[in-house]
Structures are given as structure tokens and as C-alpha cells.
């Protein structure tokens, strides 16, 4: 018998803390699979965020750093400048990357910092119990938008890939989703491409991953995948927003 599917080596052999049905675990696995396939795990430094993925440092077999909230791209910059031949990635949520860490994100991108950012967009602050995130959809109920997000009062969600694609330093920006098998497979291709771009020295690469949060959305894991498809994808269309391709 041959193995069709098994746990990647770069994913630590520990039970992740994520809630049932939360797709963070899938994103972790895809990153680990790519590290394995590219054979770079022992030459990689990962930077974990503050938020649901705060314990990501326990889940990857490469060296890991736990950064302050929003500061992962700055920390990754410091690492990459010291170890230019190492693979350096950050793994961040929407509050971390697009609210408190907006400056670090935008400037790492505009510097063309040769790092890879894995960005989990699940439209809320999961770890603290489901508050409004910069990516919370108009009308979406969270614990701090109990009557639904009203753009007149608190503005509109940020479309991160679109924003970063305007920057010259961004080499690659793609939005993917984890709501079904096909999209998960596409997500892996995007993650692989992002790491390959880093290995080729092309500059800043980001994969925005639309992810579910069944616990805070208040629905079953399967319902959450449908909610993602019906509500998030229309607002956050999937696809490649920037790809400098073979140039540079």
C-alpha cells in the first residue's frame, strides 16, 4: 500500500488548540506541506502573531519567534536582514495584520522585503471572543458590532490584497479560501508559489486565506464554509492581485 495522504513532517506532532472546524489547522498544514515539498524546513524561521494563531510557534518544526501584536513583519524583516538566505514567513490574522499591524504590513511590502506573509482573514478577532476586525463585513454581527457593522459609523472592511497590490515592492498577492477541497488545493498552490518567489528573491509575497470561525460566527463548521462562500467571497473575490512573474 502506498500513502496517499499523511501528516507533513514540518507540522509538529502535537494537537493544535484550534476550535472544531476552524480552518487555521488546514492553513498550518498547507504551509507545512510546502516547507516539506520545497525541502526548506531546516532553513526556515517562522514568526507567529498575536491572535488565534499565537501558539503557531508550537506547530511548525522550523525555528519560530512569537511577535508582539501586529509586529510580525518587522520581526521577520530583522531576521531576514540577518539571514538573507533563510526562508522567513509570518503567519497573521486580520486584526494583527490589517489593524494594529497595518504599518508593519504595508511597509514590509513596499520595501519589497523578501518574506512570505500568510494572512488568515476570518472577519473577526477570534482569540478574544469575536470582536469586529478590519475585515468584518458590512452588517456582520460581532460582539463589538452587536447591531451589525454599520459602515456609516465605523467604515468599511479593508481588502488587503487589493491594497498591497498597488505597491511596487509586492511581488505576489493572491487571495484563496479554505471552504472546500478545490479551494484548499488552490490555496496550497498559492502558498507554494509565494515561498518559491521568496526563494527566487523576488520580494514580498502574501497569500490571503479566507478562513472560517465557526465558534464566533455561531454556526456549525459546515455551515461556516457555506457562509464563507456566500458572504466573504463576494466581498473578497478570490484570485491573483499581483504577480510580477518572471520579471525582476
Partner 1 sequence: MAKVTFREDWCKGCGLCVEACPKKILALSEKRLNSAGFHPAEMTDQEKCIACAFCATMCPHVVITVEK
Partner 2 sequence: MADKVLVKGNEALGEAAIAAGCRFFFGYPITPQTELSEYMAKRMPKIGGTFLQAESEIAAINMVLGASSAGARAMTSSSSPGISLKGEGISYIAGSDLPAVIVNIQRGGPGLGGIQPSQSDYFQATKGGGHGDYHLIVLAPNSVQEIVSLTFDAFDLADLYRMPVMILGDGMLGQMMEPVVFPEHSERVLPEKTWATDTTKGLRKKNIINSLYIKPDVLEKINFERYARYAEVEAKEARYEGYLLEDAELVITAYGATSRISRNAVNALRAKGIKAGLLRPITLWPFPKDAYKSAAKTAKAFLTVEMSMGQMIEDVRLAIDCLRPVHFCGRTGGMIPTPGEIEAKAEEIARDF
Segment 98-127, which members bind partner 2 (CB under 8 A)? 103-104, 106-107
Region of 40-48, 64-72, 146-154, 180-188 interacting with partner 1 (CB under 8 A) = 180-188
Segment 26-65, which members bind partner 1 (CB under 8 A)? 26, 29
Task: Decide if residue 66 touches partner 2 (CB under 8 A).
Answer: yes
Smallest separation (angstroms) from partner 2 to the CB of 65 = 4
Over 144-165, what HEC string results?
CECCCCCHHHHCCCCCHHHHHH
How big is the site for partner 2, counted in residues (CB under 8 A)? 35
Q: d(Cα 66, Cα 56) in Å, to the nearest integer?
A: 8
Q: d(Cα 128, Cα 248) in Å, to the nearest integer?
A: 41
Query: In sequence order, what are the beta bridge partners of 175?
Result: 208, 239
Which partner from the list partner 2, partner 1, none does 125 bind, CB cut-off 5 to 8 Å by kind?
none
Q: d(Cα 200, Cα 172) in Å, to the nearest integer?
A: 12
Q: d(Cα 200, Cα 20) in Å, to the nearest integer?
A: 37
Dmax (CA) of the chain: 60
Smallest separation (angstroms) from partner 1 to the CB of 56 = 14
Task: Decide if residue 43 touches partner 2 (CB under 8 A).
Answer: yes
- To the nearest 10 degrees (0 to 180), the angle between helices 102-110 and 72-82 is 40
Smallest separation (angstroms) from partner 1 to the CB of 19 = 8
Segment 67-86, which members bind partner 2 (CB under 8 A)? 67-68, 71, 74-83, 86
| Options 214, 232, 241, 242; binder of partner 1; rule CB under 8 A | 214
Q: Which residues contact 63 (CB under 8 A, 6 or more apart)?
A: 44, 45, 46
Task: Decide if residue 222 touches partner 1 (CB under 8 A).
Answer: yes
**Collapsing DSSP states into helix, strand and coil, what is residue 100?**
helix
Q: d(Cα 117, Cα 109) in Å, to the nearest integer?
A: 10
Task: Decide if residue 225 touches partner 1 (CB under 8 A).
Answer: yes
Q: Which residues bind partner 1 (CB under 8 A)?
A: 1-7, 11, 15-16, 18-26, 29, 180-181, 184-185, 214, 220-222, 225
Q: Which residues bind partner 2 (CB under 8 A)?
A: 41-45, 47, 54-55, 57-58, 60-68, 71, 74-83, 86, 103-104, 106-107
Amino acid at each position: 500500500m502506498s500513502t496517499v495522504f499523511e501528516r507533513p513532517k514540518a507540522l509538529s506532532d502535537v494537537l493544535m488548540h484550534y476550535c472544531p472546524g476552524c480552518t487555521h489547522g488546514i492553513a498550518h498544514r498547507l504551509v507545512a506541506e510546502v516547507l516539506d515539498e520545497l525541502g526548506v524546513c531546516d532553513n526556515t524561521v517562522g514568526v507567529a502573531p498575536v491572535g488565534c494563531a499565537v501558539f503557531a510557534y508550537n506547530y511548525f518544526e522550523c525555528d519560530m519567534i512569537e511577535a508582539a501584536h501586529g509586529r510580525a513583519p518587522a520581526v521577520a524583516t530583522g531576521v531576514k536582514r540577518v539571514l538573507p538566505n533563510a526562508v522567513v514567513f509570518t503567519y497573521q490574522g486580520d486584526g494583527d495584520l490589517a489593524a494594529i499591524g497595518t504599518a508593519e504590513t504595508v511597509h514590509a511590502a513596499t520595501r519589497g522585503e523578501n518574506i512570505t506573509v500568510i494572512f488568515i482573514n476570518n472577519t473577526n478577532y477570534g482569540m478574544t471572543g469575536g470582536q469586529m476586525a478590519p475585515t468584518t463585513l458590512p452588517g456582520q454581527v460581532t460582539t463589538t458590532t452587536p447591531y451589525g457593522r454599520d459602515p456609516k459609523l465605523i467604515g468599511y472592511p479593508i481588502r488587503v490584497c487589493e491594497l498591497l497590490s498597488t505597491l511596487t515592492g509586492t511581488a505576489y498577492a493572491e487571495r484563496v479560501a479554505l471552504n472546500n477541497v478545490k479551494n484548499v488545493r488552490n490555496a496550497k498552490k498559492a502558498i507554494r508559489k509565494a515561498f518559491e518567489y521568496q526563494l527566487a528573491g523576488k520580494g514580498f509575497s502574501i497569500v490571503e486565506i479566507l478562513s472560517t470561525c465557526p465558534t464566533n460566527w455561531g454556526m456549525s463548521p459546515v455551515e461556516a464554509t457555506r457562509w464563507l462562500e456566500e458572504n466573504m467571497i463576494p466581498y473578497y473575490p478570490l484570485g491573483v492581485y499581483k504577480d510580477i512573474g518572471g520579471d525582476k
